[in-house]
Structure 1
Amino acid sequence: MERRQFIEIVAGGVATVGLAGCSGQSGDGPNVSDEESPGDASETLADETVEVSEDSYQAYTATLESSATLSYDAIVREGPAIDIIVTNGNEFTNYENDENFRYNSAASELDTSNTNNSTELDSGNWALILDNTSRGEAEPPTNFDDDIATVEIEATIS
C-alpha cells in the first residue's frame, strides 16, 4: 500500500475523493443531514474487504449534520487482531500525527477480530479507523514480517 495516494470511494451513490494519511489511508464518506426523510435508507460508509498493512490503518470519514447512528460489522479474515477506533475530526488529526488522541469508547472496539457495534454519534466530523498499529490495545506481532490484517467491514450511518 502506498503511503500517499488518492483514492475514490463511492458511498451512498456520492463519489468523493480523500487524501491518504502518512501511515495509512483515509477516504471521505457521506455527508449526512437531517433533511433526509425518516424513511430514507442508511448511508453506506464502508462495504469492502481491505488489507491493512502492519503499522498502518484504513480510515473512513463522515460529516454528520445532526446526530446519527453509526453501525458496523467487522471481521478479520486473516492476520492479527486490530483496533476499531471511532473518533471525532480533531482527534483524528491527532491520531494521524501520531500524537495522543481521545476516542469514543462506546463506538470503538479494541483488540478485536470479530465485532459489531451500533452507537449514536453527535453532529460533526467523525472517523472510523481500522488500526493495525501499536497506537491502541492490539499490537502487530514483532516477527519482522509485514503482518497484514485482511478485514471485511460493513459500516452505515442512519
Structure 2
Amino acid sequence: MTATALAGCSTGTDDTNNAGGGGGGGEREQIDSLNRNYTVTEDSWKGSELALPNGGTIEYEGIVRNGPAVDFYVMTSGEYSHFQNQERFQYLTGVSAPDTTSVEVSGSVQSGDYVFIVDNSNMGAASPPTNFNDDAVDVEVELTLYE
C-alpha cells in the first residue's frame, strides 16, 4: 500500500518531480503527466501524489486489463491519511470513479496537494471477490495535470 509522487510511481519510492508553470493567456499549460501500469494486489492500493499549487485540471483514463473492478479516487493529502488508517474518508466526486473497470475523467480542482489512488481493497465502493484467491488487478493509467 503505497503513495508515491507523480513522476516516480514505484512501490516504496517518493520521487517528487512537480514542474511549475505560469499562466498562459487562457491556454491551459500541462504541468505534469503520468503513464503507468499498476499491479495492485488484493486488499491494497497504489497512489501518486499530485501537486497543483495554483489549482488546475486533472485528466485521466484508467482501464482494468485483468481482474475485478477497482476504485479510482482523487482526495486531498489530509484525507489520504484517513484512507491509509482505514478510517472514513472523503474523495473528490468530480474527479473520482468508484467501482469501475474503465474510466475517462476530467475535472477542475482548487490549489492544493492531492493523492490519486487505484484501490483494490474493501475501503471503497469496489471490493475484491471473497473467493480466497489473491485477486490482483492490472490497471493502465494515463494522467495529466494542467494549470
TM bin (shorter chain): 0.7 to 0.9
Residue in 2 that maps onto 1:59: 47
From the superposition, tell whether residues 104 and 125 of structure 1 become closer, same or farther in structure 2 (CA, over 3 Å).
Answer: same
Which 4+ runs in 1 deviate beyond 3 A? 16-20, 26-30, 36-42
Q: Are the structure 2 counterparts of residues 108 and 93 from structure 1 closer, same or farther at C-alpha, using a change threshold of 3 Å?
A: same
The equivalent of 1:43 in structure 2 is 32
* C-alpha contact 1:61 1:127 (8 A) present in aligned 2: yes
SS at the partner of 2:94? Answer: coil
Between Structure 1 and Structure 2, the one with more strand by share is: 1
Equivalent of 1:116 in 97, 104, 122: 104
Q: Deviations over 1:20-41 (max 9, x none)?
A: 4xxxxx7555435453655744
Change (3 A) 1:28 1:90: farther
State the AA in 2 paired with 1:43. D
Unaligned runs of 5+ in 2: none
Amino acid at match of 1:98: Q
Cα distance in 2, alignment partners of residues 31 and 91 from structure 1: 21
Percent identity at matched positions?
31
- TM-score normalised per structure 2: 0.85
User: Deviation of residue 127 (structure 1)?
Assistant: 0.6
For 1:31, the equivalent position in structure 2 comes to 18
Q: Where does residue 141 of structure 2 map in the other structure?
A: 153
CA distance in 2 between partners of 1:48 and 1:64 (Å): 20
Paired letter, 2:50: A
Q: Measure the CA separation in 2 of the matches of 1:54 and 1:130.
A: 11
Instruction: Tell me the number of residue pairs that the alignment of Structure 1 and Structure 2 aligns.
Output: 144
1:28 & 1:121 partners in 2: Cα distance?
Answer: 23
Higher RCO (CA-CA < 8 Å; seq separation 6+): 2
Choose the corresponding residue for 1:134, options 116, 122, 126.
122
Q: Check 1:100–1:106 CA distance in 2 against 1; reply closer, same or farther (3 A cut).
A: same
**RMSD of the alignment, in Å?**
2.7
| Unaligned segments of structure 1, at least 5 residues | 21-25
What's the TM-score, normalizing by structure 1? 0.80
Alpha-carbon separation, structure 2, partners of 1:17 and 1:76? 18
- What whole-Å deviation, never above 9, does each CA across 1:23-76 have from its counterpart, x for those lacking one? xxx7555435453655744411x2021100000101011121111100000000
